[in-house]
Amino acid sequence: MKRNVILLAICQALMMTGSSLLVASIALIGLALAPHPGLATLPLAFHFLAVMATTFPASMAMKKIGRKNGFMLGLIAAIIGASVCAYSIYIGHFVGYCIGVVSMGVFNAFGQYYRFAAADVATVDYRSRAISLVLAGGLVAAFAGPNLASFTRDLVANAEFAGGYGSLVLIYLISLWVVSQLRIPTPGTEERSEGGRPLLAIARQPAYWTAVLCAMTAYGSMNLLMAATPLAMQHYGHPFSSAALVFEWHIVGMYLPSFFTGHLIHRVGVVKVMMSGAVILILSALVNIFAGNSVSAFLIALALLGLGWNFLFVGGTTQLTTTYTPPEKAKAQGLNDMLVFATVACTALFSGLLHYTVGWSVLNYGVIPVVVLAAIAVLYASRTRSVAITNPGT
């Protein structure tokens, strides 16, 4: 079990290195290649639309072919996508770059199930910690991704960031080898069966829809502000190296807590952890609004944004695993991730446009009521005693 969790954490680290390089550079690449500055984050929207469109099919496919084969299939798409991105940046082709990030999004849809694969192999008592430890693999990306983006920015003459996407091809090849070392059993007859409750019946459970809403809020709020941060920092005259530093600490905030979030959930309960995440997300928005536009203000706000995401997302994922039986696992997880990344795609699509039209402060004000709504939902579910369902999900 622990060997698989370690390998999945390495896979998560490699995936998030690619994702953090992409997120740190995509808005600036879009700004350079797009025909209009309001379309700067359109490639990021396409990326997350691809994740959204692939998550449910990916989950159902892995129900048939197994986690390991699914992860390898996704990595082949990532290698193709990174190659297309590098070449498209080199020739200055906006549409080609969008196609490349879509292919990388297909892989990220498969890769999102690294955390659920950890839940599959873990015992019930170890499940929240296994999920946290796999997500903690992303801590490597806090330093590797933004620094790789900064180091390789001018590696190819007259084609900023093309070298970074070329380096991702090597990273994905290494990841392909790591995945080949996993020892995850192929789905059994019970899991592959079409039994269990209808998807609507699963989704109607307060514990299920609360978990999904919290995951959507965590990822949507985080992505809306994260995607616009490089644009805001450039607007205030900060160099890309400063944006890379801010992204480092944002990703530290996202993944460093994962070393203890699972233990915290085990000790104080999932409701308190999710509520703490909501409070921290609101605090992050307030720092962005009222603390000024210095690099240190951006750094503190983005670190808090990552911490709030971690508590709310890990809590929601842990709760989700209590709401389905083995035959229901693929469709329950698939619907969750499809809704989460539909939210992420929408926030990516509108992040650049909103920053361009209404400004940075209004963008942050808009996050607060959404997070408050998620917190109210958690309180409602906890008061109806429907958060802690004891039915294990694997």
Domains and CATH numbers, the chain: 2-383 (1.20.1250.20)
315/334 Cα distance (integer angstroms): 18
For residue 84 the two structure tokens come to: 């297309």
pTM score, two decimals? 0.74
Cα separations (Å) of 182 from 189, 302, 363? 21, 34, 42
- Residue 264 neighbours by CB distance under 10 Å: 20
Identify the pLDDT of residue 97. Answer: 92
With 0-12 / 13-18 / 19 or more C-beta atoms within 10 angstroms meaning exposed / middle / buried, residue 170 is exposed
CB atoms within 10 A of CB 273: 26
The confidence score (pLDDT) of residue 348 equals 75
CA pair distance 150, 240, nearest whole angstrom: 8
| CB contact burial 52-85 (16+ within 10 A = b; e otherwise) | bbbbbebbebbbeebbbbbbbbbbebbbbbbbbb
By C-alpha distance, which of 168, 224, 173 is closest to 27? 224
Confirm if 151 and 48 have CB atoms less than 8 A apart: no
Q: In the chain, which stretches have pLDDT less than 70? A: 142, 188-195, 384-394
For residue 258, the model assigns a pLDDT of 81
CA distance 122 to 318: 12
pLDDT for res 101: 93
What is the reported pLDDT for 181?
92
Distance of CA 393 to the CA centre of its chain: 22
Of the candidates 368, 351, 105, which has an alpha carbon nearest to the alpha carbon of residue 229?
351
How far apart CA 344 and CA 23 sit, in angstroms, is 13
DSSP 84: H
Nearest Cα residue to 82 out of 163, 141, 177: 163
> How many residues make up the chain in this entry?
394
Q: Check residue 282 and give its pLDDT.
A: 97
